[in-house]
Amino acid sequence: MTAAPPLIPTEGTSMSTHETGGRLNVPGTPIFDGQTSRRGLRLNKMLMSFRSAENRERFAADEAGYCTEFGLAPEQTQAVLDRDWTAMIDLGGSIFYVYKLAMMDGRSMQYLGGVFTGMTEEEFQAELRAGGRRDG
């Protein structure tokens, strides 16, 4: 996985990144910890709002405006508009929340897995059917 992009300068946030900072270091494994959750709070709250059909429609009508309404940082808004799934995770998105946007786009968890691992959805699916991926 590529290094995390520059952090959003959030008040009181330390400089931990998913894979290099914090108390745990499991290679290739983002740890959704308290600092990550602090960084991602606005983004995750917006993704949570997609539980309602009305909000899904409002987002579809004006994605950037909807992001602004929820107070996303510019990098987070850009990641959402670009459907940069890796950046959304790096910028504090929880996979369960990010997945709500993917579902709206008709994307599967296997598609996201392919994005995170540099594979097509079909290749990723094939690895799962072959018994899953191992470390590295």
Partner 1 sequence: MADVLWGLATSHVPSIGAAMDRNKTEDPNWKDLFDGYAPAREWLAEHEPDVAIVVYNDHANGLDLDIVPTFGIGTADSYPVADEGYGPRQVPDVIGDPELSLHLLESLVDEGFDLTVFQELEVDHGLTVPLSVWTPDPGDAWPCPVVPILVNVIQYPQPTAARCFALGQALGRAIRSYRDDVTVGILGTGGMSHQLAGSRAGFINPEFDHMWLEKIETDPEALARLSREELIREAGSEGIELIMWLIMRGAMHEQVTKVHSHYFLPASNTAAGIALFDNRTA
Site for partner 1 in 1-60 (CB under 8 A): 1, 18-19, 22, 24, 26-34, 37, 40-41, 44-45, 47-48, 50-53, 56
Contact stretch for partner 1 (CB under 8 A) within 5-13, 58-66, 73-81, 92-100: 92-100
Spatial contact of 116 and 1, defined as CB atoms under 8 Å apart:
yes
Residue 113 near partner 1 by CB under 8 A: yes
3-state secondary structure of 9: coil
Residue 64 near partner 1 by CB under 8 A: no
Spatial contact of 113 and 95, defined as CB atoms under 8 Å apart:
no
Spatial contact of 109 and 103, defined as CB atoms under 8 Å apart:
no
Residue 96 near partner 1 by CB under 8 A: yes
